[in-house]
Chain A
């Protein structure tokens, strides 16, 4: 397994610079950050955006204990043992999160789930899980971000607001770069943004289309019809989508005239009425357009290694998220084995929440149920989820204190370059220790 363990601390009070460090705050996974480190503190994060700066500069080591049991400071060994007992003691254990852990830790988490016949799910299920389901329906025509930078002459964002969620998206990958076949950068590209509100990103657009809320599917289906030259009722199109048919037609003409089009889409599609049907419409539209020119699509993934989580869970179980092992082998069913559901329906009876915050982000019934069952939480910060956990581990922050591998939103794997050592264990170390104990309890000899 690659580069696990911890970084050695630099000599005290010395100033060190870590070049080409990796920001894992969003799915852009910028790997060109130069960090200045003084006294176990990052004082500068060159090239990082506002979110990246907040990520790096606020990472002083948390002086909480590395382990809390029932809210009381405890030794790590006791924590590992208690965690293993919780996970092996239930009938329906769930493990959730993983999108802010390196792949090395994710792999251990999936092993644990296998040994306890548990259910594994990642934060994908509540971000682009619906896009993953859509992909299983129609496929996907896509490319890496460097292709966008070098070739993309028509860039569209649908239900995505990178100006606030992925601040370097425009400058590093999608709009500004002077690429091989778009030598003039922004001038060689057309940017279209479709959203239900005029987000901060809209400023970057040549064309901004404000569609009616919850009408993404209708809007995308309109474009699919126009791509195929099907005649539509102008009044109906406008009343359904909020945009005139002639505007859609003009947009389609531009799309077909593009040499290499790219559609980035966000949770504006997946979290609203239609969910996977919306993503499916968009992926199908992209596919249709390849009968006329080259077109690709890409979900703008949020967390730094949510893409790695999809990959790790898929290569080990065959399915990307929402995987149940209660019968001793993997089964997949979104809506049944996904965490929002196993919690809101009151099915899970113990769990482990890794680098995620369901106690803040989940529905009320899901949160209430989670609060009522024994569970373990791993996070580098204190969150509502760590506060309510039976066993809470404070872990070293990946990319800042802990090494490993992360996958950018376009599935490109990138090695982390941690800046300084944390007194807390990494989630890889915590999970490995729990796995050892789980195996002992379950009689696994692998």
Chain B
């Protein structure tokens, strides 16, 4: 089962602290590898904390990532959030449309629920 979402990578306080603690340390790694999903979307897709999903962009970039429920109200349904890092970079296209800036926020992604991890 797949569904279209808009992904917003961004900064978080823990990710910022993690940079100072070290990019190979747990705090940073955990931040940049957890995908926040709106509680409503979690429920509708029957996703539990720690379940895995696969994200695919229109250019074919693909990642698999564990989900976590976004804090109440923080994220409207249909939007996904992840702290900047390796995963968000993987989903960015190489093209900057002549601006120098790759589209790094508001990326269309196809979300596929992977049952295997928790089943």
Consider the complex of A and B and state whether they touch directly, i.e. have CB atoms less than 8 Å apart: yes
Q: Is B84 an interface residue (CB 8 A)?
A: yes
Contact A267 B105 (CB under 8 A): yes
Contacting A129 at CB < 8 Å: which of B10, B94, B100? Answer: B100
Known: A51-B17, A164-B13, A363-B93. A130 touches B105 (CB 8 A): no
Residues of A within 8 A of B90 (CB): 364
Q: Is B50 an interface residue (CB 8 A)?
A: no
Contact A382 B23 (CB under 8 A): yes
Q: What is the 8 Å Cβ interface bit string for chain A, positions 182-215, against chain B (1 contact, 0 not)?
A: 0000000000000011111000000000100110
**A336–B98 alpha-carbon span in the complex (Å):** 7
Q: Is A383 an interface residue (CB 8 A)?
A: yes
Q: Please provide the chain B residues from 8 to 24 with a CB less than 8 Å away from any CB of chain A in the complex.
A: 8, 10-13, 16-24
Stretch in A171-179, A268-276, A407-415 with 4+ CB within 8 Å of B: A268-276
Contacting A213 at CB < 8 Å: which of B6, B22, B74, B89? Answer: B6
Known: A55-B20, A340-B94. A210 touches B99 (CB 8 A): no
Q: Is A344 an interface residue (CB 8 A)?
A: yes
Known: A125-B100, A196-B79, A270-B101. A164 touches B22 (CB 8 A): no
Contact A383 B94 (CB under 8 A): no
Q: Which range contains the number of A residues in contact with the other chain?
A: 35 or more
Q: Please provide the chain B residues from 82 to 119 with a CB less than 8 Å away from any CB of chain A in the complex.
A: 84-86, 89-90, 92-106
**A108–B10 alpha-carbon span in the complex (Å):** 32
Contact B21 A54 (CB under 8 A): yes
Q: Is A165 an interface residue (CB 8 A)?
A: yes
Contact A362 B17 (CB under 8 A): no
Interface centre among B61, B76, B96 (most CB of A within 10 A): B96
Contact B99 A334 (CB under 8 A): yes
Give the total of B residues in contact with A, Cβ under 8 Å: 42
Residues of B within 8 A of A339 (CB): 100
Contacting A273 at CB < 8 Å: which of B86, B92, B96, B106? Answer: B106
Q: Is A89 an interface residue (CB 8 A)?
A: no
Known: A126-B104, A199-B74, A213-B106. A54 touches B16 (CB 8 A): yes
Contacting B86 at CB < 8 Å: which of A26, A59, A345, A360? Answer: A360
Q: Is A354 an interface residue (CB 8 A)?
A: no
Residues of B within 8 A of A275 (CB): 97, 99, 101, 103
Q: What is the 8 Å Cβ interface bit string for chain B, positions 1-44, against chain A (1 contact, 0 not)?
A: 00000101011110011111111100000000000000000000
Q: What's the minimum C-beta distance from B85 to chain A, rounded to whole angstroms?
A: 6
Contact A126 B94 (CB under 8 A): no
Residues of B within 8 A of A130 (CB): 99-101
Residues of B within 8 A of A336 (CB): 98
Contact A54 B23 (CB under 8 A): no
Known: A164-B11, A198-B74, A360-B89. A335 touches B99 (CB 8 A): yes
Known: A164-B12, A270-B101. A362 touches B20 (CB 8 A): no
Q: What is the 8 Å Cβ interface bit string for chain A, positions 67-105, against chain B (1 contact, 0 not)?
A: 000000000000000000000000000000000000000
Contact A214 B106 (CB under 8 A): yes
29 A–B contacts from the bound complex (CB under 8 Å): A25-B20, A50-B17, A54-B18, A58-B20, A125-B100, A129-B100, A161-B10, A197-B8, A197-B74, A198-B74, A200-B74, A213-B106, A214-B106, A271-B101, A272-B106, A275-B99, A335-B99, A340-B96, A340-B100, A344-B95, A345-B94, A360-B85, A362-B92, A362-B102, A363-B93, A363-B102, A364-B61, A381-B22, A384-B86
20 further A-B pairs in the complex, CB-CB below 8 A; given A126-B102, A334-B96, A363-B94? A26-B16, A54-B17, A54-B20, A129-B100, A130-B100, A130-B101, A164-B11, A167-B13, A196-B106, A272-B105, A275-B101, A275-B103, A334-B99, A335-B98, A339-B100, A344-B96, A344-B102, A360-B23, A364-B94, A366-B94
